[in-house]
């Protein structure tokens, strides 16, 4: 049975302003060091070395029966300071290959055995535009593509359309599975990107600002989920809290809140 991995990104909206009185200098994001992300029983804590490099992510999930689930993801650098691999406490090892300063291929090993690999393509602005995942399926000819993602951006380097595909048998054809549309971006720093570290490529950045609306559609173009976002901001111009209103295809609604903490 095939294992399909899909990256699901989604978040954001807002428009809250701060008083100019006694306001700290506006940050461009380069000085921000992410510490923790919290959302409905789930906490992600990031640890950095004295050079500001990410060295570990600790995940903690708390369940309603008071049980908890913890896991870690560690990041390893070479003598030149380049991220070369990362490992989890569940036996997963990710090895990164570069083209210039971009990761162009990641190989996955599970308990020492190679499981699959991913390739990444970028545009002239350095933005990721395509990710393809391959798996070794002997009965279908060996290493073949099994899933793909493509990305489109606006003039402010914010992703506006993310499409997910699966491949038919033998990797012959990529067929649309679903798509995410993002709109109504604000002009504030997107905090989610500092915490949304994707193991197969930790340097992927899909947006600079915060979207106000995310619409998930199936391959027939029907809307499955709509999320609307509101934010509160730090005086330096980055989001510190996100309020999410969710509407399912059948009209069912819900809401949740996300908080972001950075090193002061």
pLDDT digits (tens, 9 = 90+) for 163-217: 999 999 999 999 999 999 999 999 999 999 999 999 999 999 999 999 999 999 9
CATH 2.40.160.190 fits 34-262, yes or no: yes
| Mean of the per-residue pLDDT values of the chain | 91
What are the domain boundaries of the chain? 34-262
pLDDT score of 30: 79
pLDDT score of 201: 98
pLDDT digits (tens, 9 = 90+) for 56-75: 999 999 999 999 999 999 99
pLDDT score of 26: 59
pLDDT digits (tens, 9 = 90+) for 115-163: 999 999 999 999 999 999 999 999 999 999 999 999 999 999 999 999 9
pLDDT score of 158: 98
Task: Say if residue 99's pLDDT is above 80.
Answer: yes
State the DSSP string of the chain. -------------------STTPPPPP-STT--EEEEEETTEEEEEEE-TTS-EEEEEEEEE-TTS-EEEEEEEEEE-TTS-EEEEEETTSEEEEEEEETTEEEEEEEEETTEEEEEEEEEE-TTS-EEEEEEEEEEGGGTEEEEEEEEEEEE-TTS-EEEEEEEEE-GGG--EEEEEEEEEE---SSBPSHHHH---TT-TT----SS--SEEEEEETTS-EEEEEEEEEEE-TTSBEEEEEEEEEETTS-EEEEEEEEEE--
pLDDT digits (tens, 9 = 90+) for 13-35: 232 333 333 445 556 777 899 99
């Amino acid at each position: 049975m095939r294992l399909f991995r899909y990256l699901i990104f989604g978040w954001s909206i807002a428009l809250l302003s701060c008083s100019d009185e006694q306001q700290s200098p506006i940050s461009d994001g380069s000085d921000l060091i992410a510490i923790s992300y919290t959302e409905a029983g789930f906490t992600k804590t990031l640890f950095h070395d004295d050079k500001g490099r990410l060295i570990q992510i600790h995940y903690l999930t708390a369940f309603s029966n008071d049980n908890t689930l913890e896991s870690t993801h560690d990041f390893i650098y070479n003598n030149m300071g380049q991220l070369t691999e990362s490992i989890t406490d569940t036996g997963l090892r990710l090895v990164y290959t570069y083209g210039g300063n971009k990761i162009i291929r990641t190989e996955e090993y599970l308990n020492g055995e190679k499981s699959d690999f991913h390739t990444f393509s970028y545009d002239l602005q350095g933005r990721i535009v395509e990710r393809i995942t391959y798996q070794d399926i002997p009965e279908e000819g060996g290493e073949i593509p099994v899933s793909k993602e493509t990305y489109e951006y606006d003039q402010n380097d914010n992703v506006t359309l993310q499409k997910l595909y699966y491949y038919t048998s033998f990797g012959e054809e990529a067929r649309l599975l679903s798509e995410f549309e993002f709109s109504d971006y604000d002009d504030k720093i997107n905090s989610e990107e500092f915490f949304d570290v994707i193991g197969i490529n930790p340097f992927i950045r899909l947006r600079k600002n915060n979207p106000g609306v995310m619409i998930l559609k199936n391959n027939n173009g029907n809307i499955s989920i709509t999320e609307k976002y509101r934010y509160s901001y730090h005086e330096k111009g980055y989001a510190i809290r996100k309020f999410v209103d969710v509407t399912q295809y059948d009209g069912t609604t819900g809401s949740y809140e996300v908080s972001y903490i950075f090193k002061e």
